[in-house]
Structure 1
Amino acid sequence: MSRIKLLLFVLVITNAIYAQDLQLSQKDSIVKSSWMVGLGYNFVDDSGSRSFEGLFDVEDNWNALAYPSRVSIGRYFESGLGIEAIGAYNKYKVGKIIDGAVNTIETDYFSVDARLSYDLNKIIGETAWFDPYVGAGVGYTEANNVDMGTYNAVIGFRTWFSDRWGLDLSSSGKFAMDKAKGNHLQHSAGVVYRFGAKKDLSKRGLEKLALIEAFEKENQRKADSIAAKKAEEEARLLAERLALEKEKARLAAEEKAKRDAEEAKRKQFEETIKGYGDIQFGFNSSYLNSKSRAALRKVASLMETNPNLSIQVNAHTDSRGESTYNQKLSQSRAKKTVAYLVRQGVSAERITSEAHGEQHLLNDCDDNIRCSEAQHRVNRRSDFKVIKF
């Protein structure tokens, strides 16, 4: 077999393999509109707690049943809007916190709600398996022997195991129309079944279809020209390969120089931010003092001057107290730091955060060493890492 024939054989085999990779599949389509029914559990928090920690106090604040206690049905449209009806039953258990006091009598809880939801994928981009949403609506609730109309707000997401079956998780705030009656939270988790679905190609599917059409067009062009240009093609391929190797070497050198320059610039940004002063907190507190706020305003000004700059906020505590509590405290400090930067006009999309608790002390003041307040203070901080610039 001649070299030209061998080249033609390789091209044919390569095209066949590549064409198989470009076949459209179910993963390339998404559901545009559908009906959906759901069955699951609901968890009612009517404790009246306003603290962040109280939101997750399942043992004391959440009321739930051991069997499915929530049903729903909804119609969801291509625009991203959905209309839903939901019914739930629960019991306020003895020993749970209800309206700030320990409940002594078990009572029933009923709710019927209607709401309008919006698929956030219409904003952040379509996926075939993850659907975050927000919504608002009204409802009727009988809780703790008190009936009330409510205004409702919800945030949640659905994740899909197949075209029809998925998992729905959400949290709703229910606000009494009569201000004399209490507000409460209702969380839910359950399975959903989708039917009557209208499907279309996703963004990925449309891109793949365009690639398939371009691939077929290119194959036709090759078929029309290869017979007359066999010798020229072999020479061209050799020249391209040599040029590509030369270009790769040049690009590798440029990339290394670029990485070195970027790392130097990253360190310069981090040193500049560090020079603005420490972001420190009082003992057992996430309050930002005036000195810390002043430093954060300088960070915000730097980010305004450099619109491509993105940072990560790392929040820490000293070693005093339980490590689990310190982890939660550092989460609060991270949120307060990020929130203050956002209030100064920095986009939340340019800030990430991590809470480290007492894991990264700046000195030796762990649980085994006695230290002064000044030594502990340096560990109660938020510091910054430049992510992108």
Structure 2
Amino acid sequence: MNISRLAYVALACILTTSTFSQEPELELTKKDSIVNSYWLVTLGTNFVDDSGDEFGELFDFSEGWNAVPYPSRISIGRYFKNGVGLEAIGTYNKYKEGKIVDNAVNPEDVDYFGLDFRVSYDLNKILGETGFFDPYIGIGAGYTDANNQGRGTYNAIVGFRTWFSDHWGLDFNSTGKWTMNTENSTNHIQHAVGVAYRFEVEKELSRKGKEKLAMLKELEEEQQRVQDSIAKAEEEARLLAERLQREKEAAELAAAEKAKKDAEDARRAALQNKINNLGNVYFKLNSSYLTSKDKELLDKLVAIMQDEPNITVKITAHTDSRGTKPYNQWLSERRAERTVEYVVSKGISTDRISHGAFGETQLVNDCEDGVFCTEEQHSANRRAVFIIVNNP
């Protein structure tokens, strides 16, 4: 079980490394963010087509378009996150002598002045962000003094900007201007190109950038889930290893304790067997005195106790069934006391030897009252027995 858990952790680590190594490298770059609000200033030039057939011959540069050889257009505007922009534009131009103006050849140079205000909308909000290409449309109104005629105008604008950085770019646009005074003035077109500079720029992620960010977050969450799974598996493996170690130590301790107990039991059994092999002290009928043979046996018991100073022995004395029970109890006590006294007299401490008297209550055969037995059978019950009572 422990091996299986560790194998799972190793497999998870391998799969994690493999998965992450196969994932495309995702990171947010400047290309993933777009400008969504800013202030804009442009400086450039403008071209005016007031030929009277400006929509019929849109690119009649030689006869219809008028321009001056220096910057002639300036604007300032504010553009918002929703794609709407507000802009004020000032222009200067000059109708050139010999150009077509209001379907006639212009006899002399005439100044052109324009002041316009417009509202525009960023088409990328509909088309999707293109980054460098920023098309827009707009409407507005203004005042134009052209061909010595002042007029209010309704304006419609179409154009685009192309950006080289977050701040610098080019602005191209064309504006149709429809006069508010149809009796004394005509409609015309004004084209413009200029350098654009934006400031106080605020940016946000593009749609692709947001998708990439969502993928990054999802990947990060997945990596975290895998790391959490690995950490959990490692923690479970650690806990399992600790539990198995504790169980192993407990088993080893139990085995050691059992071995110790078995050794102690074996030692005690061997000592008890050694003492049992001495035999018992057997008393004569109605006697508690020890014979020389009994003392020889007890001397052997004393020798064993001297060799094994940690053992404690209890001597139990018994009688046969003849006589009254009170008498037999008293007699067995006398036999036990005299046996103990002899052992103590040989140098054994009293705290290592004890006794018990049982009278006729623990016969070793069936020689009870009323049962005929031989003297030999009765003599088997007149005994003193040696028992080890502690664990040496």
Q: Could you tell me how far apart the structure 1 residues matched to 2:20 and 2:159 are? A: 44
- Which residue matches 1:121? 124
Residue 223 of structure 1 and its aligned partner are, at CA, apart by 3.5
Partners of 1:57 and 1:9 lie apart in 2 by 71
In the TM superposition, what whole-angstrom CA distance separates every residue of 1:53-104 from its partner, at most 9, and x where no partner exists? x101112111111111100000111121111000011111122111111222
Q: What percent of counterpart residues are identical?
A: 57
Kindly state the Cα deviation for residue 33 of structure 1 after the two structures are TM-superposed. 1.1
Do residues 210 (structure 1) and 199 (structure 2) align? no
Q: Which residue does 1:24 correspond to in 2? A: 28
Higher Cα radius of gyration: 2
Q: 2:188 aligns with which of 184, 188, 194?
A: 184
SS of structure 2 residue aligned to 1:197: strand
Distance in 2 (CA, whole Å) between partners of 1:59 and 1:92 is 13
Contact 2:88 2:117 in 1 (8 A): yes
Give the distance between the partners of 2:170 and 2:42, measured in 1 at CA.
9
**1:171 maps to what in 2?**
174
2 CA distance for matches of 1:65 and 1:51?
A: 22
- Tell me which amino acid in the other structure corresponds to 2:67: A
Q: Equivalents in 2 of 1:163, 1:48: separation in Å?
A: 40
2:70 is aligned to 67
TM-score scaled by structure 2?
0.53
Over residues 15-69 of structure 1, what are the superposed CA-to-partner deviations in whole Å (9 max), with x where a residue is unaligned?
36847x31112211111211100001100000011554x1011121111111111
What stretches of structure 2 of length at least 5 have no aligned partner?
Answer: 1-8, 234-392
Which amino acid is 1:90 matched to?
N
After TM superposition, which residue ranges in structure 1, 4 or more long, deviate above 4 angstroms?
4-11, 16-19, 224-229
CA contact (8 A) 2:54 2:188 kept: no
**Alpha-carbon distance between aligned partners in 2 of 1:74 and 1:227, rounded to the nearest angstrom:** 56
Using structure 1 for the length normalisation, give the TM-score. 0.53
Structure 1: give runs of 5+ residues left out of the alignment: 230-389
Q: What CA distance in whole angstroms lies between the structure 1 residues aligned with 2:142 and 2:74?
A: 14
DSSP 3-state at the match of 2:158: strand
Question: Within 5 A, what are the aligned runs for 1:88-127?
Answer: 88-127=91-130
Letter in 2 for 1:213: K
Q: Give the secondary-structure state (helix, strand or coil) at the position aligned to 1:147.
A: strand
Conserved? CA contact 1:30–1:127, under 8 Å: no
Residue 58 of structure 2 aligns to a residue in which SS? helix
The 1:14/1:96 distance shift into structure 2, 3 A limit, reads farther
2:201 maps to 197
Given that 2:54 and 2:189 are in contact with CA atoms closer than 8 Å, whether structure 1 keeps it comes out as no
Partner Cα distance (1:44, 1:10) in 2: 68
Deviations 1:225-271 (A, max 9, x none): 56999xxxxxxxxxxxxxxxxxxxxxxxxxxxxxxxxxxxxxxxxxx
Mapped to 1, the partners of 2:219 and 2:102 lie a distance apart of 66
Q: Which amino acid aligns with 2:227?
A: A
* Amino acid of the structure 1 residue aligned with 2:192: S
Residue type of the partner of 1:72?
S
1:333 paired residue number = none
Q: Which residue of 2 aligns with 1:139?
A: 142
CA distance in 2, matches of 1:227, 1:200: 36
Task: Determine whether 1:15 maps to 2:20.
Answer: yes
Residue identity in the other structure for 2:17: V
Which AA in structure 2 matches 1:71?
A: I
State how far apart, in whole Å, the 2-side matches of 1:9 and 1:98 are.
Answer: 80
Task: Determine the C-alpha separation between the residues in 2 that align with 1:6 and 1:41.
Answer: 68
Letter in 2 for 1:94: E
8 Å Cα contact 1:170-1:189 kept in structure 2: yes
**Shift in alpha-carbon separation, 1:188–1:144, aligned structure 2, 3 A:** same
Q: d(CA) in 2 for partners of 1:220 and 1:51?
A: 63
Number of residue pairs the alignment of both structures matches: 226
